[in-house]
Structure 1
Amino acid sequence: MVRGIIRVVSLASVSLTSSGFFLYGTGHWDPSDFGVVRIGRAVLTTAAITWDYLTELRHVKAGTEEYESIKSQVHFRSAHRLLDLCCANRGTFIKVGQHLGALEYLVPPEYTKTLSVLHSQAPCTPFPDVVQVIREDLGKEISEVFVEFEEKPLGAASLAQVHRAVLQDGRKVAVKVQHPKVQAQSARDILLMEVLLHAVKKIFPQFEFMWLIEEAKKNLPLELDFENEGRNAEKMSAIVSSFSFLRIPRIYWELSAKRVLVMEYMEGGQVNDREYMKRNQIDINQVARALGQLYSEMIFVHGFVHCDPHPGNVLVRQNPETLVPEIILLDHGLYQVLTESFRLDYCSLWQALIAADMQQIRIYSQRLGAGELYPLFACMLTARSWESVNQGIYQNTVSREEALEIRSNAATYLPEISQLLASVPRQMLLLLKTNDLLRGIETSLGTHASSSSFLNMSRCCVRALARHRKEKTDSLWSYIHISLAETFSLGQLQIYEIVLRLQASCVGCWIRRMMQWVFLYIH
């Protein structure tokens, strides 16, 4: 018996060591970077999580209070094991962990709450390594490019960190420097995660999270190319140039490369920092409306979407001249380009959701791959209960009871959610993540989606669908008819918004009180 155990342990050790050398090579001797250590951590963590679920829930009847209580405890322990693994292996592991932590309405809350700290707890690269990356990519010493360069980073993320610096001509800049080992490790880490997830799926067939790895495979190479990030920033700046409230830092191309990005330095508070906004007399509701308007324009009109709007990437500040809040959009590495057919179907689906048109909700949800799970799909998109979707999501904001129901259902319907995520177009996955990040900001600010938000979405949908129809028509009369219908629809929305503002104003309150007084007097 003992010999058998020793033989198994020996074989496992040899296998892990061999695979470590094969996947990671022998160039990195830091324990956190050495192949056998990284693989060993990942394998042991996966095994511990799998064993916990198998043993703890095996003898408890599903659906009972005891089952739900034990399952929550297992979720909590597993989330913390996963957090420890991400922090230890860093790089790609933190990136994937951040993605999971952002899926607030798609995975159990024990995971999202635990993993959300990864957005602010990424490890820093030592300064000598930062100097080496700049030397290798720019072919110059730091002193040749900058008169000042702060050694302590302003912030560190999963793939890079940002330093404040001053150019030779006195301009203040932010310098984004990629962690030196993440490029070499990323493909191997993804392969390791893919193998482990396949193993988990063999044990739990309902586990459908391979889409997460497929997305990482596609997006990581783009995020690791800082020249691509610079091009995205310039393209977005041109697309939304009409938005006076938006600021995107200028890129200094002559000082940028694949792993180094030098950009204009801009200061502001994080978009979820209510105290910062109060101190600086920034209108929180105005910020929330502007952010909603910006993302509606990206998604519905242009189909070019910034997909990483976590609070560290969205700053706010007060314009000292106009006293209007400004949004500073950072980190343009992750964008989703929507195909025209997908974008138009998505527009039509949101119009149906706002109008509570159940037939159209079913039709367009199914066109987007939801199949018979379209009620669940509608709830995931809106983060509302099916009852609220039926009544009209603009009618009331999310109540505390409804929020608890949604979180509870996220755990209850996890197999169906996994199935749905595996069946929808890949474009939808980043949109769902983006939706959840934006809702997280709304929750922090206490400005849940209002009628104003839905009006902005409706305007963008009307414009996008009208533009498509005008591009497809060859008839002057049809073009005029489409333009008039668009103008009429936008006019209706404008009138409705004026009515809402009047209702919310002092005049509106006075009129309502007068009407109530007249009604009581008559009766």
Structure 2
Amino acid sequence: MLPSLDFNDIKEKFSTHVRPWHRSLQFWVRAVDIYTGYKVFQVRVSFEKDMHKQEAMWERQHELAAEKIYAMCSDLGGFFLKIAQIVGKPDLAPAPWVRRLVTLCDRAPATPFDEIRLVLEQELGRSVGEVFERFDVDPLGSASIAQVHRARLRGDKSDVVVKVQHPGIQDLMMTDIRNLQAFALYMQKTDITFDLYSVTKEMEKQIGYEFDFVREANAMEKIRHFLYENNKKAPVLVPRVIRDMVGRRFLVMEYFDGIPILNLGDEMAKRGINPGGKIAAVAKQKILQSLTLAYGQMILKSGFFHADPHPGNILICKGSEVGLLDYGQVKDLPESLRLGYANLVLAIADSDPIRASESYRELGIDTLSKCKNELEELLKLAQTMFDTKLPPGVMMLQPFAEESSIKKIGVRAFPEELFSVLRTVHLLRGLSVGLGINYSCAEQWRPIAEEALYRAGRLKGKHIKPSTRRRSFFRRLF
């Protein structure tokens, strides 16, 4: 007797095999359309000699492209939501792109609760009702890899957050990354002299780690311990892991009561505080100071750091305390890169082009000069890439503009492991722009960098600038 055919099973297997090919086709059709649109436009705009008309033409082209990029990221979701988080910042992309993409940062579609419950019960080996006294069906939020629900464990008095992975998301995101790698290879050979492929390889490695929530729980505990041990009061709050409630696709942690940083202005207005007034400015200053201090310590003192400070991962709690969430993307810098970056921080803070050039070589950043004032442009590129404050006269990164440092100084090789630092600094810059505070993280991190180099025997005590000579850069701002 022939076995009966399960058509639903056949349909599911067929869909599983076809979906990556269909997704790849969707990406390439849209990416080629956006790219060729710009290439054709570059020819068209070259015939217009009036600068004001050129600017208006560019604005219309950016608006057209922004709609297409938004549609691609929104329709495909997954990894493309992360791309929207990276690209949709005022210093990195044209204003029409930013206006459109910023709304996508927390727009990942939620997985239906029945599917989430199935993942959770497979991991727990028990029903949700046996483990939890209460479990909110509607998620607190949904991101590209997972969604989080508020719940309470049986016999407990405090609420917890349960993070559960979207089923089937890993294969789709890996497909997306490989398509982006192929596109990056083409771009760096035709338009941008920058090692984009190495950047995407590091993204592949880092995002691959995000699917293991046991690893995330260990990272959260390690960073929590480091920040709480190295400060009288930790600059940011890190959730406590519920240790016996961790699996590869789920994670239970302490619940923080707070508001997303993106809602800070609205919350202030609700409480009768002028979001543009002095009280609000002091609160924003404290938030940014706490956050960047934590990052300076993690990157330069420890080398092990949270590498995803986008607005959706930052919660403002009582008393302007900052809660730092989601430890899926963490990075452990090799000692050589940690110290090399500390040296580059000092070069940026002191506007020292010679030291910046030396730091490039130490970090393994291979540059190709296309200009006469090479040292000045190297420093400008370092400030553009690795500081929250852009160089004078630079409003945003413009990789296609002839006057851009990235055009003048080609980057033939860029160490993959340094991308996480680059991305972290750019996300912090986006936050500072959003809060209306223009500051240099390199200035704030200078004493931490000096200490790191001093402890490694690479900086003599006499070369450390006394803190009495420096006023806090935050005090200079306000």
User: TM over 0.5, yes or no?
Assistant: yes
Q: Is residue 142 from structure 1 mapped to residue 133 from structure 2 by the alignment?
A: no
Q: 1:119 aligns with which of 93, 97, 105?
A: 105
1:379 aligns with 2:383: yes
Among residues 421, 428, 437, which one is paired with 2:427 in the alignment? 437
- 1:306-317 equivalences in 2 (<5 Å): 306-317=306-317
- Contact 1:57–1:71 (8 Å) recurs in 2: no
The alpha-carbon distance between structure 1 residues 108 and 223, as it changes in their structure 2 partners (threshold 3 A), is same
CA 1:188–1:446 in 2, change beyond 3 Å: closer, same or farther?
A: closer
RMSD value over aligned CA atoms? Answer: 3.3
- Pair 1:216–1:80, CA change in 2 (3 A): farther
Of residues 194, 197, 210, the one that matches 1:210 is 197
Residue 462 (str. 1) matches residue 467 (str. 2)? no
- Inter-CA distance 47–411: structure 2 relative to 1 (3 Å threshold): closer
Q: Which amino acid aligns with 1:309?
A: P
Q: Which moved further from structure 2: 204-213 or 228-237?
A: 204-213
Shift of 1:43: 2.6
Partner-residue secondary structure (3-state), 1:186: helix
Q: Using the alignment, how far apart are the partners of 2:34 and 2:207 within structure 1?
A: 26
Tell me the equivalent position of 1:254.
244
Please state which structure has a larger fraction of its residues in helix: 1
Alpha-carbon shift at residue 149 of structure 1 (Å): 0.7
* TM-score, with length taken from structure 1: 0.75
What percent of counterpart residues are identical? 27
- AA in 1 matched with 2:362: R
* Corresponding residue to 1:50 among 35, 40, 50: 35
Matched residue, 2:293: 293
The alpha-carbon distance between structure 1 residues 91 and 180, as it changes in their structure 2 partners (threshold 3 A), is same
Contact kept in structure 2, 1:57 and 1:67, CA below 8 Å? no
TM-score (norm 2): 0.81
Displacement of 1:436: 1.6
- Inter-partner Cα distance in structure 2 for 1:120 and 1:210: 27
Aligned to 2:356: 361
Aligned to 2:73: 86
Alignment map for 1:144-163 (pairs within 5 Å): 144-163=130-149
- 159 and 197 in structure 1: CA distance in 2 versus 1, 3 angstrom threshold: same
The alignment partner of 2:396 has SS state of helix
Q: After TM superposition, list the pairs within 5 Å mapping 1:408-419 onto structure 2.
A: 409=398, 412=401, 417=406
| Contact 2:313-2:324 within 8 A present in 1 as well | yes
The one-letter code matched in structure 1 to 2:317 is R
Distance 1:72 1:206, change over 3 A: farther
Structure 1 unmatched runs, 5+: 1-23, 320-324, 389-401, 471-480, 506-523
1:446 aligned residue: 436
**Is the 8 Å Cα contact of residues 50 and 200 (structure 1) preserved in structure 2?**
no
Kept in 1: contact 2:217–2:241 (CA 8 A) = yes
What amino acid maps onto 2:355 in structure 1?
Answer: Q
| Residues in 1 aligned to 2:317 and 2:15: alpha-carbon distance in whole angstroms | 45
Q: Which has the larger radius of gyration?
A: 1
Change (3 A) 1:211 1:376: farther
Is 1:336 matched up with 2:331?
yes
Q: Report if aligned partners of 1:108, 1:411 keep a CA contact under 8 Å in 2.
A: no
Offset, 1:125: 0.6
> What 5-or-longer segments of structure 2 have no aligned partner?
1-11, 274-278, 370-376
Aligned to 1:180: 167
SS of the aligned residue for 1:336 comes to strand
**Does the 8 A contact of 2:199 with 2:416 survive in 1?**
no
Query: How many pairs are equivalent?
Result: 440
Q: Following TM superposition, by how much is the alpha carbon of 1:106 offset from its aligned partner in structure 2, in angstroms?
A: 4.1
* Cα deviations by residue, 1:253-274 (Å, 9 ceiling, x for unpaired): 3222111111011111223413
